[in-house]
Amino acid sequence: MSSTLKVGLVGWGAIGRVVGTALARQDVPGAELTCLVDNRPLGETAPAPQVSFEDAITRCDLIVEAAGQGVVREWGERVLTSGTDLLVASTGALTDDELAKRLLAAGPGRVFFTGGAVGGLDLLQAVRSFGPLDEVRLTTTKLPSTLEQPWMDEELLARLRAATGPVEVMAGTARDVPVKFPKSTNVAASVALAVGDLDAVRVRVVADPAAERTRHVIEASGPHGAYRFEVAHVPDPANPATSRVVPYAVLRSLAALAGRSGQIL
């Protein structure tokens, strides 16, 4: 790998624009934006050449996925087998056990995950290393409009649209929920990756018309202790389904991969 990390960015949406602009400004020491991949023509607004996915893989040391779970499913294994590393923002794709196994087994490229909109994952990983957790719960609360999905029946949609207070939209495991909300519940998959068990994480998705901020509450307990993390993020104005902090979590991960000193890892 070269001394400067050559980064290819997939996706020029709410996450990608912030990440790409920061890289183009050289805000991440040791990393440079080499190229962009998007299914729309970006024209002169792009701060780096727009290329095909195949071309990006050959040009770059690291591919950053900022375009959704489908990209991870379609391209993840191919990136890794080419020898290029992959940083995944859409961790919900890893609820597919077969895909997760293939990605973790593929190489020589390495796969990394960013924590995105939630904290405490490093502590959950540390706790898991000396014993299983008895209970892990995640409650995610968002504006109703960000949770509407094509699979919902008219009754549920009507409840969401007429809600005057919190409404439980779905309850299940971290295996079930991200599949139903592919753009809104990557946090559930991230918690499950930290805990090491998709089925151990119980998830509630709540719609609340008063939710000016997207809220995630993680509660975990076991014989070695009890833990509670709560975050409340401002939604991204361009895409309220994601929190405004997510691209900055990606940038932090990039800084760690680029080798910037002084990081808390």
Identified catalytic residue from 216, 245, 249, 255: 216
Helix 121-128 and helix 186-195: axis angle, to 10°? Answer: 30
How far apart are the C-alpha atoms of 81 and 109, rounded to whole Å? 6
Task: Look at residue 214 and give its three-state secondary structure.
Answer: strand
Question: Among candidates 183, 155, 189, which has minimal Cα distance to 169?
Answer: 155
Q: What are the strands of the beta sheet with 85-88, ordered from one edge?
A: 31-37, 5-10, 62-65, 85-88, 111-113
Tokens of 39: 């299914």
How far apart are the C-alpha atoms of 75 and 112, rounded to whole Å? 14
> Among this protein's residues, is 216 annotated catalytic?
yes
Backbone angles phi, psi at 225, to 5 degrees: 155, 180
How far apart are the C-alpha atoms of 67 and 17, rounded to whole Å? 11
Task: Look at residue 141 and give its three-state secondary structure.
Answer: strand
Catalytic residues: 216
